[in-house]
């Protein structure tokens, strides 16, 4: 007996009510809107980045090819600002001081590794208190930090020179001597960032399995050998992150130089960094076009240093 198509599939043969939607059409429409949903959530962040980062960068790039009048207005001068910049002897001084400050800042990372490993030792009492004490400089206002350290660095009655004189050493005028002033300010920068670095490294230390230390101890490794052959290799991702952030922060240093040395110091020309160089030309001399060229050069230097760091990390960073 032959069964008709309508008898085998009543639902297929039944006419679709007027105005109803097919499941396939609903699915296609839903998929189309699903693709827009993530952009809806990231739109505020993208708008903030574009408004406060991308657009000012584009403006600065344009202004670097212009010259500003005393009462406003710009004049297109082409690459004259860049030609003048690369012939300016102050650029080499500011770049050298910035690199020196960055070297001091990066030298603080091994210190942070050592202190973080000490705080991670099992059975250590008052661990939380030590972490709070080390982290306090991170949340302290830079102006207050500068006032305290200026007193400590004072060449006549500072505590540092007094302590050195007790052992027969004549301390220098820390903030009035070129090169020494940059290193002194760099030490303050290391002190301020030490707590943050230790938090990052402490999180990395807690992710290292205890079995590795037990195996190394069974093999006769001392604590120092465990630090060199177990802790540091497994901490390289955290160390790499800190080197990138420290280098970027060092190349952008301004507040400590401005607050501790000051724009009225007789040695500010010999101790200024790239950002202070930018500030002096843009806001003290009101040469905003030239300052914009300095800012673009600083942006390119930071991008180049970061790119080199990411290329070199393939050789020494070990991801588990």
Is residue 281 within 8 A of residue 287, CB to CB? The reply is yes
Beta strands in the chain (DSSP E): 66-68, 74-76
In this structure, of 45-59, 87-101, 122-136, 241-255, the range with the lowest mean pLDDT score is 122-136
Q: How confident is the model at residue 1 (pLDDT cuts 50, 70, 90)?
A: very low
Q: What is the per-residue pLDDT for 127?
A: 87
Q: Averaged over 278-288, what is the pLDDT?
A: 91
Q: Averaged over 282-300, what is the pLDDT?
A: 93
Identify any residues that bridge with 75 across adjacent strands, giving them in sequence order. 67
**105-140 pLDDT, tens digit each:** 999 999 999 999 888 887 888 888 998 999 999 999
Q: What is the per-residue pLDDT for 3?
A: 47
Start-to-end CA distance of the chain, whole Å, equals 69
Q: How far apart are CA 236 and CA 201, in angstroms?
A: 10
Is residue 90 within 8 A of residue 277, CB to CB? The reply is yes
Q: How confident is the model at residue 26 (pLDDT cuts 50, 70, 90)?
A: low
Residue appearing with tokens 């990372």: 109
Q: What is the per-residue pLDDT for 71?
A: 74
Q: What are phi and psi of 256, to 5 degrees?
A: -65, -40
Rg (C-alpha) for the chain, rounded Å, is 30
Q: What is the per-residue pLDDT for 18?
A: 54
Q: What is the per-residue pLDDT for 257?
A: 94
Q: The pTM is what? A: 0.84
Helical (H) or strand (E) element with 268: helix 268-271
**149-203 pLDDT, tens digit each:** 999 999 888 999 999 999 988 989 999 999 999 999 999 999 999 999 999 999 9
SS3 at position 210: helix
Is residue 320 within 8 A of residue 234, CB to CB? The reply is yes
Q: Write down the mean pLDDT value for the chain.
A: 87
**35-79 pLDDT, tens digit each:** 778 888 899 999 999 999 999 999 999 999 999 877 777 899 999
Residue 8 has pLDDT above 80, yes or no: no
- Longest CA–CA span in the chain (Å) reads 118
Domain topology for 80-316: MetI-like fold (1.10.3720)
């Amino acid at each position: 007996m032959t069964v008709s198509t309508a008898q085998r599939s009543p639902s297929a043969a039944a006419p679709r009510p007027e105005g109803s939607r097919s499941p396939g059409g609903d699915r296609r429409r839903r998929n189309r809107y699903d693709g827009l949903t993530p952009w809806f959530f990231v739109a505020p962040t993208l708008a903030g980045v574009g408004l406060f980062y991308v657009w000012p960068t584009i403006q600065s790039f344009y202004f670097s090819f212009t010259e500003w009048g005393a009462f406003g207005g710009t004049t297109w001068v082409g690459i004259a600002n860049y030609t003048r910049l690369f012939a300016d002897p102050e650029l080499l001084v500011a770049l050298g001081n910035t690199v020196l400050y960055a070297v001091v800042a990066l030298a603080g990372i091994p210190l942070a590794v050592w202190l973080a490993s000490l705080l991670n030792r099992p059975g250590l009492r008052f661990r939380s208190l030590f972490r709070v004490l080390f982290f306090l400089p991170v949340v302290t206002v830079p102006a207050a930090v500068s006032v305290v350290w200026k007193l400590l660095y004072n060449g006549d009655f500072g505590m540092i020179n007094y302590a050195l004189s007790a052992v027969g050493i004549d301390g220098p005028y820390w903030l009035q001597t070129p090169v020494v002033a940059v290193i002194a300010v760099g030490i303050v920068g290391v002190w301020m960032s030490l707590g943050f670095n230790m938090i990052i490294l402490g999180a990395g230390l807690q992710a290292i399995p205890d079995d590795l230390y037990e195996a190394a101890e069974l093999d006769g490794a001392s604590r120092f050998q465990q630090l060199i052959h177990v802790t540091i290799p497994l901490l390289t991702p955290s160390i790499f992150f800190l080197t990138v952030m420290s280098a970027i922060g060092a190349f952008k240093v301004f507040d400590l130089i401005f607050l501790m040395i000051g724009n009225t110091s007789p040695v500010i020309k010999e101790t200024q960094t790239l950002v202070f160089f930018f500030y002096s030309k843009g806001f003290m001399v009101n040469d905003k076009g030239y300052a914009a060229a300095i800012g673009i050069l600083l942006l390119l230097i930071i991008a180049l240093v970061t790119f080199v760091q990411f290329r070199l990390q393939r050789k020494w960073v070990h991801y588990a």
